[in-house]
Structure 1
């Protein structure tokens, strides 16, 4: 099974990309976002460097690698 890391997969384009990959490609989706999603969620404010580093540590511990990276988050 493939794995994808998607930022901003809680809504809009990121959510639809995640759903399509999950359905068509049988892909495990990991979402980096402040909002919840139907995927494995790692809550984070991507504008906060400290939270980003903490999230990267969590990702390294839980997932050895990813097949796809989708950078879709809108940072305000």
Structure 2
């Protein structure tokens, strides 16, 4: 995994009963002895009002096809 790459990762449900594979973006290159990366999840839920820390990924953006996403999405830094 490298910085800025969109990857698919298993995210657990809040109650840890199961998990779902979801897209995420690598915020860092591999760090430390074990090559850990910091990820931010991507959701297809685009709120009417974005938070200051949210980033809209719009299907109409010129470089949208390069993301590998299928629909407009939000990068949520929570």
Q: Same fold (TM over 0.5)?
A: no
When Rg is computed on C-alpha atoms for both structures, the one with the higher figure is 2
Normalised by the length of structure 1, the TM-score is: 0.25
Q: Which has the higher strand share?
A: 2
Q: Which has the higher contact order (CA 8 A, sep 6+)?
A: 1
Q: Which has the higher helix share?
A: 1
